[in-house]
Amino acid sequence: MSAARYHGATDRGKVRSGNEDAFAVEPPLFVVADGLGGHQAGEVASGIAVDAVVELAPEELDVDALADSVRVANERIIRAAHEGVGREGMGTTVTAAVVRGTRIALAHAGDSRAYLLRDGRLDRLTHDHSVVGEMVRSGTLTEEEARHHPSRSVITRALGSDPDMPVDRLEVTASPGDLLLLCTDGLHGMLDEDAIADILVSAPDPRHAVDRLVSAALDAGGADNVTVVVVRVGADRDEPVSPKRRSAAYLLWVLVAVLLAATAAGGAYSYARSKAYLTIENGRVVVYRGLPGEFAGVRLRWPLEETTIDASALDPQVASRLAGDLEVDSPSEALELVGEYRLMAAEAETATPAETETATP
Ligand code: MN
């Protein structure tokens, strides 16, 4: 039996209760998607996306047609949410590749990634559409700091919200034997790029590489769903690598990066509007729509409710979580929590005198 030329796998990880990632290994097409939205909505979104791309992606190396399939996937997710399938606000990343010989066409949105291992060196092909990704590019954060940043999972572009969402496209010429890696942030959030490169270099074939990468992500904590696809490039049809083509791909990449910087700001704003967090100000619980902290010197938050709930009446553990800014998926989730804290505070008030009475006979 000859070694597989490609392989893919997904794992729920060690912390999440479900798996919202999805992937497809249907050569010449390879796709990974990381769903967002929780409560079974994320997996609806990533499932719709992968199905649409598998249905509509071109067989040949046509990066525009590939990007169009992602665009249709975006429209289908938006429509599904309106029709009550999944949930409003559900979304997903998509990184899709068509591999023909040593040529790769890529379409991408979100913070999943494509990498190419060439001559033992790992090149990241995609650009993260995330708040920390922007901060790394502007020099505010290092890659390592970004992997541990509290807002590391805040993405600035995803399928499912903006009907005009731009899709990054990229064409790359690899060398025969290079390895193409597609992965969700459950991999690159848990392992640094040196560790990923070491595994790819030492694994004998794509199947082993995938198995080892997934186990390494789990060993590192498995904090998120992890999905990995590895393809050995050019095994079927070798093509000479033209230096001209490489530089054309490089120029395209620079162009994509410039366009991205311009669109990321708008995406971050609408993403922040969909989120909320609770904190404590002047001893009281306060709710904001948006995200804690500053992004490139800008606060993305709007007051939602100033409660009369006294932080000292809450369970001390709860109070300390709130003091550290408790982020939640949506404003309505934040308001639900406020209801719970109000009850907790009221119970604490009525319970305290009773305890005092029994303690003093
Ligand atoms: Mn993820």
pLDDT in tens, 284-309: 999 998 888 887 777 888 888 888 89
Measured in angstroms, how far is the CA atom of residue 170 from the centroid of ligand 1?
22
Query: Across-strand partners of 232?
Result: 179
Q: What is the mean pLDDT of residues 106-135?
A: 96
- Write down the pLDDT at residue 239: 38
Write the burial class of residue 208 (CB in 10 Å: 0-12 exposed, 13-18 middle, 19+ buried): middle
Tokens 């990468």 — which residue?
Answer: 213
Measured in angstroms, how far is the CA atom of residue 237 from the centroid of ligand 1? 34
Task: Report the separation in Å between the CA atom of 97 and the middle of ligand 1, taken as the mean of its atom positions.
Answer: 19
* DSSP three-state, residue 97: strand
Binned at pLDDT 50, 70 and 90, residue 356 comes out as very low
Distance 34 CA to ligand 1 centre (A): 5
> Nearest Cα to 69, choosing from 43, 103, 30, 42?
30
Is the predicted pLDDT of residue 2 greater than 70, yes or no?
no
Q: Convert the pLDDT of each residue in 271-281 to its tens digit.
A: 888 889 999 99
Centre of ligand 1 to C-alpha 115, Å, is 17
Task: Output the pLDDT for position 294.
Answer: 80
What is the DSSP pairing of strand 29-36 with strand 94-100? antiparallel
C-alpha 326 – ligand 1 centre gap (Å): 19
For residue 343, how far is its CA from the centre of ligand 1 (angstroms)?
Answer: 34
pLDDT at 246 over 60: no
Separation of CA 308 and ligand 1 centre (Å): 36
CA of 184 to the centre of ligand 1 (A): 6
The larger pLDDT score, comparing residue 213 to residue 322, is at: 213
pLDDT above 60: residue 240: no
User: What pLDDT sits at residue 194?
Assistant: 96
What pLDDT is recorded for position 97? Answer: 98
Give me the residue label for tokens 């989730």: 333
Residue 121 confidence class, pLDDT cut points 50, 70, 90: very high
pLDDT at 251: 65
Q: Is the pLDDT of residue 245 over 70?
A: no
If you measure from the C-alpha of residue 323 to the centroid of ligand 1, how many angstroms do you get, rounded to a whole number?
26
Which of the four pLDDT bands, split at 50, 70 and 90, describes residue 361?
A: very low
- Find the range with the poorest average confidence among 161-175, 249-263, 303-317, 340-354: 249-263
- pLDDT (average), residues 69-84: 96
CA of 146 to the centre of ligand 1 (A): 15
In angstroms, what is the span from residue 215 Cα to ligand 1's centroid? 16
| Between 264 and 104, residue with greater pLDDT | 104
pLDDT exceeds 60 at position 352: no
In this prediction, residue 235 carries a pLDDT of: 57
How distant, in Å, are the alpha carbons of 27, 55, 182, 208 from that of 6? 9, 20, 11, 10
Distance, CA 242 to ligand 1 centroid (Å)? 36
**Residue 236 pLDDT grade (very low, low, confident, very high; cuts 50, 70, 90):** low
**Cα gap 355→90, rounded to integer Å:** 46
pLDDT at 342: 87
Ligand 1 centre distance from Cα of residue 315 (Å)? 31
Query: Encoding tokens for residue 161?
Result: 């919200």
User: Ligand 1 mean position to 214 CA, how many Å?
Assistant: 13
Please give the distance, rounded to the nearest whole angstrom, from the Cα atom of residue 64 to the centre of ligand 1. Answer: 26
Ligand 1 centroid to Cα of residue 256, in Å, is: 23
Rounded to the nearest integer, the mean pLDDT of the chain is 88
Which pLDDT score, from 0 to 100, does residue 250 have?
Answer: 62
Q: What is the pTM of this model?
A: 0.66
Q: What pLDDT is attached to residue 354?
A: 45
139, 49, 141: which is closest to 96 by C-alpha?
49
| 325 C-beta neighbours (distance < 10 Å), count | 15
Distance 202 CA to ligand 1 centre (A): 26
The stretch 202-226 carries a mean pLDDT of 96
Collapsed DSSP state (helix, strand, coil) of residue 137: helix
Contact 184, 224 (CB under 8 A): yes
Q: How far does the centroid of ligand 1 lie from the alpha carbon of residue 135, in Å?
A: 19
Q: Report CA(111)–ligand 1 centroid distance (Å).
A: 8
Percent of the residues in the chain that have a pLDDT greater than 70, as a whole number? 88
Going from the Cα of 13 to the center of ligand 1, the distance in angstroms, rounded, reads: 10
CA of 287 to the centre of ligand 1 (A): 26
pLDDT value of residue 303: 82
Q: Give the pLDDT score at 351.
A: 65
pLDDT at residue 127 in the model? 94
Ligand 1 centroid–CA 235 distance in Å is 31
Which residue, among 294, 287, 269, 284, has the nearest Cα to 330 in the 3D structure?
Answer: 287
Task: Find the 186 Cα to ligand 1 centroid distance in Å.
Answer: 5
> How many A from CA of 306 to the centre of ligand 1?
32
CA of 226 to the centre of ligand 1 (A): 7
